[in-house]
Amino acid sequence: MKHLSHFIDGHTAISLSQRFGDIFDPNTGAVQARVVLGTPDDLQVAVASAVTAQKAWAATNPQRRARVIFEFKRLLEVHMDELAHMLSQEHGKVISDSKGDIQRGLEVVEFACGIPHLLKGEHTQGAGPGIDVFSMRQALGVVAGITPFNFPAMIPMWMFAPALACGNAFILKPSERDPSVPLRLAELLIEAGLPAGVLNVVQGDKEMVDAILDHPDIKAVSFVGSSDIAQYVYGRGAANGKRVQCMGGAKNHGIVLPDADLDQTVADIMGAAYGSAGERCMALPVVVPVGDKTADALREKLVAAAQGLRVGVSTDAEAHYGPVVSAAHKARIESYIQMGVDEGADLVLDGRGFSLQGHENGFFLAPTLFDRVTAGMKSYQDEIFGPVLQMVRAQSFEAALSLPSRHPYGNGVAIFTRNGDAARSFADQVEVGMVGINVPIPVPVAYHSFGGWKRSGFGDLNQYGMDGVRFYTRVKTVTQRWPQGGAVSDQSFIIPTMA
């Protein structure tokens, strides 16, 4: 059986830890590999390597760093099929979805190739008598990323691409459920020319997370995962004087106005709600039709479309989605389905009990659809993170607007309408960080930034885009004056001014 370990100083590193985690094949339910669960001593080795390598990397001019990132981009394209199959084997998402995972990360890599321009500071000549002022962005040093199981390629690249381009060394702690792709990305970075030690991968669970949060040489931590853990990471990291950004959970809503194109809306909702088995923080698990006439028509179309979805193994090219990541997660989703029933919601389609011939032990769930869900239900308040779609009926635009605005999460939201005025008003008023107008999964392009509000995001700066550059750098501002003609200025005991 394959055993996975750390990647430190440019090669696989052996851990003395005696703890291991199982890596399952979600299609069969069988254990396919084991991963070491590292110790603080393992982290110390990785950080020491990163500290040593970072100074020379930061001193490398931005254009040369960009060349390494650009070569990494080329290698990602060359190895796309290999990475996608590796990702699907451990996560369970279908191959096309795995390629999308890699592609969205690659787009941030492309953005990071422009780092020479992105790092330019500001300059003012003649701010005072013979005085010039300029600013520069400098790398923080050693930074870290803690990433979730659902996007084992995209989210690590969202973090380390801008961090490395800015001149930092990076410690990556991927999910112990699917660590193979992050390890392969590290190998490809070395092949692209990244010096050994500039990116290290450490494996582990909470013990490793706490070690990262407590290590004095790690200056910043980026995290993506559930909201409770995001809040914990943010609090502990900030208490230790680190810069921290934490992206949490979500309960994204899709508002459907009476004038929406229902056929297109249903097609969009199918992919947004059930794609990747709903294991996306930007999935759309709640649909809010306005008016009972709209709701009844939408329900009929949703049922027909959901019943036509194909659930299959991750290598099935005809499958719309594959299994969820683990037996424990499948059981959790099933418990929420039962919770919805117990709370009085109308279970229209029940995805429990689905079995795929030849893969009876796989972690599969068919599409589930609830109607007449209410805002007071716990199954509505919580993030389910599976192929479960809940319909909450609203009787007015204002009522529909209030649902995502009042929800504890505020990651993404979408509105489906032909009315530009309604869409503009909705985008302006809704209390959510990312808004789609006839776009069901409004993940911003790489040169903007990704981030939610409320319990979906902790910290002041978002992922990637210019916020990523800002997060992984600090500004130094220089005020300079050169003596002219040997003249000596009078000593002043007041605070300097430019008057």
Calpha distance 253→391 (Å, rounded): 10
Q: What DSSP line would sit under 252-269, residue for residue?
A: -EEEE-TTS-HHHHHHHH
Per the listing, tokens 């200056």 go with 219
Whether 281 sits among the annotated catalytic residues: the reply is yes
What is the per-residue burial (b if ≥16 Cβ within 10 Å, else e) of 131-164? eebeeebebbbbbbbbbbbbbbbbbbbbbbbbbb
- Asked if 8 and 45 touch (Cβ cutoff 8 Å), the reply is yes
Q: How far is CA 355 from CA 30, 312, 313, 316, 352, in A?
A: 16, 10, 11, 15, 9
Give the C-alpha distances (Å, rounded to integers) separating 194 from 153, 199, 221, 300: 18, 8, 21, 54
Q: What is the rounded CA–CA span in Å between residue 381 and residue 465? A: 30
Distance between CA atoms of 401 and 135, rounded to whole angstroms? Answer: 43
Q: Which amino acid is at 242?
A: K
Q: Comparing C-alpha atoms, which of 218, 169, 220 is closest to residue 195?
A: 169
Q: What angle do CA 3, 94, 181 make, to 5 degrees?
A: 35
Q: Which of 113, 166, 246, 281 is catalytic?
A: 281
Residue 139's H or E segment, with its range, is strand 131-139
Q: Which residues are catalytic?
A: 281
